[in-house]
């Protein structure tokens, strides 16, 4: 959705490696209104297209596709693509229309660009899983590649929304990464699988120690099926969402 940072640039580099010098790397930039809820930050979402164009040019992007709203959503638009199994929990529970907007716009972009490969970031783990499911179900001839999360020096996952954090919020936002670190430590130390409810309580208390943080969810699940895990062990995936004022951040990791 633009406002590119090093995390996005790492996806471009991954795409170039896959395509090689002979291939074509396309970057789409589109702030997609249908994936925002009525009280979310669509109007204030950072739009830095001129800067993004420079970064894409420097990164060796062949085509920058930045369509207008009316190109993607013509007057009278009434068709949506809905994934109904993976999209209902976590982000889907907190943002009920979010994934409907994501799958719809990605399906449109796939149709318009017709890529062989599409690269997404692991920070949005559930999103990548939903897109892969949609791609398989609708038989899009596209391979989905999920590239690693890129982090700031203090461990906070890079996000365009980080710019909205106040200095005090930015300092406390590292609690997302700390929750994953602590969860990994518990799992590594345990000799048997841990009850997810008990581990959730311990991690929720850790978030609660940050005065500016408001926990949305912490969930444990299978990394491929996204099925909830009642007991947590090595290989279980963790995802969480935490708000700081009006800024909502997500992160995830494999335990």
Give the active site residues: 8
Tell me which H or E stretch contains 220.
strand 213-221
Cβ–Cβ contacts within 10 Å for residue 118, how many?
23
Per DSSP, helices labelled H in 61-152 are: 69-72, 91-94, 98-113, 125-137
- Phi-psi map region of 2: left, alpha, beta (phi>0 left; psi -120 to 50 alpha): left
Q: Are 32 and 101 in contact (CB under 8 A)?
A: yes
**How far is 39 from 26, CA to CA, in rounded Å?**
32
Q: Which of 102, 91, 83 is nearest to 221 (CA)?
A: 91
Q: What's the burial of 194, exposed, middle or buried (CB within 10 Å: 0-12/13-18/19+)?
A: buried
């Amino acid at each position: 959705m633009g406002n590119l940072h090093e995390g996005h640039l790492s996806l471009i580099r991954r795409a170039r490696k896959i395509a090689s010098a002979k291939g074509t790397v396309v970057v789409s930039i589109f702030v997609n209104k249908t994936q925002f809820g009525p009280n979310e930050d669509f109007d204030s979402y950072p739009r830095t297209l001129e800067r993004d164009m420079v970064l894409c040019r420097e990164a060796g992007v062949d085509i920058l596709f930045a369509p207008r709203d009316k190109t993607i959503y013509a007057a009278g638009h009434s068709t949506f693509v809905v994934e109904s199994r993976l999209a209902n929990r976590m982000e889907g529970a907190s943002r009920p229309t979010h994934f409907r907007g994501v799958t719809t716009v990605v399906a449109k972009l796939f149709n318009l660009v017709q890529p062989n490969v599409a690269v997404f970031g692991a920070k949005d783990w559930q999103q990548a899983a939903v897109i892969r499911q949609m791609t398989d179900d609708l038989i899009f001839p596209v391979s989905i590649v999920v590239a690693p999360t890129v982090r700031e020096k203090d461990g906070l996952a890079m996000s365009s929304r980080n710019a909205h954090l106040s200095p005090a919020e930015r300092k406390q936002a590292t609690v997302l990464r700390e929750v994953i670190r602590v969860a990994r430590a518990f799992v590594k130390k345990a000799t048997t699988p841990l009850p997810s409810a008990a581990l959730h309580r311990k991690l929720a208390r850790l978030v609660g120690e940050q005065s500016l943080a408001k926990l949305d969810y912490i969930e444990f699940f299978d990394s491929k099926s996204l099925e909830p895990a009642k007991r947590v062990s090595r290989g279980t995936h963790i995802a969480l969402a935490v708000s700081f004022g009006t800024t909502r951040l997500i992160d995830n990791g494999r335990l």
